[in-house]
Structure 1
């Protein structure tokens, strides 16, 4: 298989992994896991009882909390080790590479795949800050009905909102960013090296990535 095709197929596969895992900004991040929405509701509820907050004020408070939370999560995931060291969002190698891992391990070359996995996560850390503006735009575009549905909904209401509104746009917008990140950290070059070594193994089954 030509290397250019190999690169394209890896990039195409991994960019969708990135698109999903970049949603950690809204799905698996500190924003959600720290029960921030429950705490926010409690805080707003206390202020509402004391000051009779308007619906607009409640909505504005929730939007601002989402913006601050997004900043916090982007900062956390976009730093060195943000993906690599967090087991909840760490990007594993695609299952299709399990065959190659098994065979290369017997030849003492599994370290290449360990490094490849590390580079995929490094690329995610590089790409994550680029997704921030997409989430800020989604927050800014929230209608009052959207905001109140999150406020009155279950603790995962914000998660469901971002999942429904962001999955497709994020995947589309992140394509060039992911490609640049993968190339920039050397993930594509390393993948080619891995597959070259794998291709030298007699009778090795084809890897369809």
Structure 2
């Protein structure tokens, strides 16, 4: 019996669904497929009504799957060119300064603009190295209610949980690193020089955005985009990153 329930739990992690709308108290209603059966088993276990899927089974396996998969996303972001060569993550001029880049390119300063954007992305990649321990802390602090909520939730429920529990800490961790790296890579100087040059162009609206805050926000947003992609992989194919714990819990061993 336990093997069947645990196998169902594996399939619940691999199948993304938005069709579950049944209240957990309606246990006599028709089955809602594998996902619904797992939730029923979780509900029975929590209520002490004879379910064989334990709280430790659910929480430990889910935590390990998330730690492995989302750690991979953090590693990807912090690698060289993790932001710069990913078109979905690449940082460019702040929106309010796009005219700065466009105008400067028109007057032959392509190299300077490119140097600035490269430095901006290097800062994000440096900061992303701090992300993994922040995520691991949030995952290991997950309660059984959090774990069940992720199983029951939308396809990005784990990503939403991590953004809610660790988003502000990432901003706090990233800000000094990005500020330092921007200075180290001369991005602040490049930007200051570029903006000053732009501001000398007649009849343009002067630009002076907060570069560090912009880069930090974009770096964190990009990281959560990778986290969402990794969560999708976990749900679709957790076997690609199995461990002894996952084999024991979800493999019916």
TM more than 0.5: yes
Matching of residue 121 in structure 1 with residue 91 in structure 2: no
**1:27-82, CA deviations, whole angstroms, 9 ceiling, x for partnerless residues?**
xxxxxxxxxxx977149x8xx89xx5423112101101111123211221111110
Instruction: From the CA coordinates, give the structure whose radius of gyration is larger.
Output: 2
**Alignment partner, residue 74 of structure 2:** 74
CA RMSD after TM alignment: 2.5
Range that drifts further, 171-180 or 126-135: 171-180
- Alpha carbons 2:138, 2:166 under 8 Å: kept: yes
Alpha-carbon distance in structure 2 between the residues aligned to 1:158 and 1:115? 36
**Alignment partner, residue 110 of structure 2:** 110
Q: List runs of 5+ in structure 1 lacking aligned partners.
A: 1-37
Alpha-carbon distance in structure 2 between the residues aligned to 1:102 and 1:42? 45
Report the TM-score when normalising by structure 1.
0.71
Range that drifts further, 84-93 or 196-205: 196-205
How many corresponding residue pairs?
Answer: 168
Alpha-carbon distance in structure 1 between the residues aligned to 2:70 and 2:156? 15
Alpha-carbon distance in structure 2 between the residues aligned to 1:203 and 1:170? 39
1:142 deviates by: 1.0
1:88 deviates by: 1.5
Q: Compared with structure 1, are the counterparts of its residues 149 and 201 closer, same or farther at alpha carbon in structure 2 (3 Å cutoff)?
A: same
Q: List runs of 5+ in structure 2 lacking aligned partners.
A: 1-9, 16-33, 42-51, 210-253
Matching of residue 188 in structure 1 with residue 188 in structure 2: yes
- Alpha carbons 1:116, 1:190 under 8 Å: kept: yes
Report the TM-score when normalising by structure 2.
0.59
- Alpha carbons 1:130, 1:177 under 8 Å: kept: no
- SS of alignment partner, residue 205 of structure 1: coil
Range that drifts further, 168-177 or 194-203: 194-203
Higher helix share: 1
